[in-house]
A and B are shown apart, each in its own frame.
Chain A
Amino acid sequence: MRPTEILFPTDFSPASEAAGRIARAMALEAGARLHVLHVVPPVTDPSQLAAQLARAGQRLAEGLRVETALRTGLAGRTIVHYAREKGIGLIVLGTHGRTGFSHAILGSVAETVVRLAPCPVLTVPAQLLEPVGAPVPAAATAVTSARPCLVCAKPSDELVCEPCRARIRGEALEQKQEAERPGRRGMV
């Protein structure tokens, strides 16, 4: 039951920072090795990510055996694959806690992992960050603001920048209007 290998997949977002703290605590408790994994989406420039991952690993490393890994692929499946390969006993994962439309397009990594993982999965919702009141380390803030928008990859403070959000909303509305146009009811 006691996991000897704990996996903390990170996307360097504040949501995964919270998960990282808990993963660290879990690893200390169990005397387990902590694996810090970042999955690079298929078409991304990975040149800066290695350094970022190393920093993330160092922040968690005190008093722990930490192993960092950079993999390329679709996040959910790659995480599960890594977990199988390394005999991971517990995955600690941050969730962005999106619902509805944006959940459908973005928030499904945690779901894939929970569904397919060979081991227990602890999901840490993003909102845990705020009430703690602990100052976010400067490095973390810098990381967040430099983060590229998920859709257009331009730098943005948010996960999906405003223009892209507007576009996604617009497309959804168009589809909805198209689907619900009078006279089309019952047609596929």
Chain B
Amino acid sequence: MPAPRSYRRIVVGLDGSAHSRRAAAFVAWLRPPRGGRVTCVRVVEPVRLPSMPLVPAPMRAQIAGQAAAMDRSRRAVAQRQVDGAAAMLAKAGWRARGVVRIGLPLPELLAAIRAERADVLVVGARGAGAVTHFLLGSVAEAALKRSPVEVLVVK
């Protein structure tokens, strides 16, 4: 996108859904400007355990260990995915990298926009957990309202 100089830095929010893959593909279609940079962000929510006051300590440790393993594997999957998207964008001529952030999706996406000083946020219309929001995912909707920058919602 050479013309509006506002499109130097792009943050793409990925979540593994088909819509978010299309979001990355849309960016790949734009012609990268000089110094054009894309950050593919996937936010992983940490596994949260309930408090287990009556559970014996060894069992508690085991459950915590399983949760940690789950966290690790989710993070690894997420990293593979953002790296894959970054590689695809790099082929299109963008300087791209993948970032996995831990936390709640929307705050982390907004934090990524600030951290990258992005000009535009690209997200898919619906995410992985879109059963209840059948036309527009909650993250996309909230991003529309809260994002300080332009938002491209790809279907």
Contact = CB atoms under 8 A, between A and B. Distances in A.
B10 to A, nearest CB: 12
A128 B149 CA distance: 8
A26 B120 CA distance: 14
A168 interface: no
Interface stretch (A65-73, A109-117, A147-155): A109-117
A87 interface: no
A159 interface: no
Contacts of A21: 4
Contacts of A110: 144
A99 interface: yes
Interface residues of A, number: 28
A111 B150 contact: no
Contact of B144 (A28, A118, A123): A123
A125 B152 CA distance: 11
A64 to B, nearest CB: 12
Nearest to A120: B154
Contacts of A116: 135
A126 B148 CA distance: 10
Interface string B58-89: 00000000000000000000000000000000
B31 interface: yes
Contacts of B152: 120-123
A29 B30 contact: yes
B151 A122 contact: yes
Contact of A114 (B6, B25, B140): B140
A125 B125 contact: no
A1 interface: yes
Interface in B1-37: 1-4, 6, 22, 25-26, 29-31
B136 A115 contact: yes
A119 interface: yes
A22 B144 contact: no
A119 B155 contact: yes
Interface residues on B, range: 20 to 34
Given A26-B1, A29-B31, A120-B26, A114 B150 contact: no
A91 to B, nearest CB: 9
Contacts of A25: 1, 3-4
B141 interface: yes
A180 B46 CA distance: 39
B141, B147, B153 interface centre (most CB from chain A within 10 Å): B153
Contacts of B150: 22, 122-125, 128
Nearest to A2: B29
B48 interface: no
B92 to A, nearest CB: 11
Interface of B: 1-4, 6, 22, 25-26, 29-31, 120, 125, 135-136, 140-141, 144-145, 147-155
Interface of A: 1-2, 21-22, 24-26, 28-29, 95, 99, 103, 110-111, 114-125, 127-128
Question: What 4 pairs across the A-B complex have the smallest Cβ distances?
Answer: A25-B3, A120-B154, A122-B152, A115-B135
